Amino acid sequence: MNPTRPVRLLPAALMAAALLVSCGDESTDFDFTAFEGGTFQFTNIGVDDGCYDGSFNVIFMPEGTANDWDITTEIPGWGDLPSTYDLSLPDPFTSMEVTVDEAGDGVMAINDVPQPGQVELDPDNFPGCFVDVVISADLTIIDADNLQGSATLVTQGFDDDPTNCPVVEEDPCTISLDLTATRVQ
């Protein structure tokens, strides 16, 4: 990662980050301060690939429809914030230490966390293309068992390996994910 390049994360869609942004006028009587942590199944429900003409959409939504992560993920309770822990992410990402904090009424946030090591985003179409990824995410508590949000993955380094990587319009560039999370435990 070149430290002279600015890396900004838009609080919206990764890894997720993250990553997750508030999803509008969700009306609920649920007291978000009573939200308890637990194990959640994340589902990608939308993706906006600002890196390569939508080609990376297939990584996050391979069938073009909602796609469950192949792992479950721990989310802290509202009363435990701020909370620092190792967050599990699906391939091609690895677990990473994050701090989840309050970002408004019922919104939990992860801000500008670099993925450890480089990520091979699309080994099928661009084998050997490794990029640096920084993840931000916001999750809005909907009720005791459901969250909605988005994650932003700012990627850079495509131009570090022009032989294996696609040519992108901007480097760094942004991939945004819309997510839901449902309690499994």
- pLDDT tens for 87-112 read 988 888 889 999 999 999 999 999 99
Cα angle 12, 15, 18 (rounded to 5 degrees) comes to 30
Confidence at residue 58, expressed as pLDDT on a 0 to 100 scale: 80
Beta strand 130-143 pairing with 146-156: antiparallel
Asked if pLDDT for residue 25 goes beyond 60, the answer is: no
Kindly list the domain boundaries of the chain, sorted by start residue.
Answer: 36-183
Confidence at residue 181, expressed as pLDDT on a 0 to 100 scale: 97
1-16: pLDDT as tens digits: 333 333 333 333 333 3
Confidence at residue 20, expressed as pLDDT on a 0 to 100 scale: 36
Three-state secondary structure call for residue 33? helix
28-84: pLDDT as tens digits: 589 999 999 999 999 999 999 888 877 778 888 888 889 999 999 999 999 999 999
Q: Compute the distance between CA of residue 154 and CA of residue 101 in angstroms, rounded to an integer.
A: 20
In this structure, the dihedral spanned by the alpha carbons of residues 67, 87, 7 and 78, taken in order and rounded to 10 degrees, is 100
Beta strand 130-143 pairing with 38-49: unpaired
Please give the span between the terminal C-alpha atoms of the chain, in angstroms, as a whole number. 37
Closest CA to 136 of 185, 184, 183, 172: 172
